[in-house]
């Protein structure tokens, strides 16, 4: 188990750097398009989040010829990807919580029904 740690760490760095490169490209693109002032803090945050997304997406993809490009594109699209995950997580968690509560307490009364 411990002997696999260096290999896994190298893989995480590789996946993250590809995502971070896409995130860097996105920051430069958005800054130039909006004619915004350059900010080192925003650049660092963008690259950090893209590094995370690169690792997350990279662990889901099989090895292929196009994996590097997909990871850079994922890094470029960091904010839309994180937004999708956030919205879908809330939706799924809400559905799961509703099902669990209906089993524990019983079905909730509909707010539009006359009994409510």
What pLDDT score was predicted for residue 79?
92
Walk along the chain (116 residues) and give the pLDDT tens digit of each residue: 778 888 889 989 999 999 999 999 999 999 999 999 999 999 999 999 999 999 999 988 888 889 999 999 999 999 999 999 899 888 888 889 888 888 888 766 556 656 55
Q: Which domain holds residue 72?
A: 2-77
In a domain, 14, yes or no: yes
In a domain, 112, yes or no: no
Q: Rounded to two decimals, what is the model's pTM?
A: 0.74
- How distant, in Å, are the alpha carbons of 5, 11, 27, 91, 101 from that of 38? 37, 31, 9, 36, 48
In a domain, 7, yes or no: yes
Number of domains in the chain: 1
What pLDDT score was predicted for residue 114?
60
CA distance 17 to 53: 10
In a domain, 18, yes or no: yes
């Amino acid at each position: 188990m411990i002997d696999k740690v260096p290999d896994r760490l190298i893989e995480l760095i590789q996946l993250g750097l590809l995502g971070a490169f896409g995130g860097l490209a996105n920051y430069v693109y958005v800054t130039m398009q909006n004619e915004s002032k350059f900010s080192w803090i925003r650049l660092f945050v963008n690259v950090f989040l893209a590094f995370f997304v690169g690792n997350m997406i990279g662990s889901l993809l099989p090895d292929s010829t196009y994996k590097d490009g997909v990871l850079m594109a994922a890094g470029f699209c960091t904010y839309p990807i994180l937004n999708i995950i956030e919205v879908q997580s809330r939706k799924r968690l809400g559905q799961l919580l509703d099902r669990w509560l209906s089993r524990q307490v019983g079905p909730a009364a509909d707010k539009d029904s006359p009994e409510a």
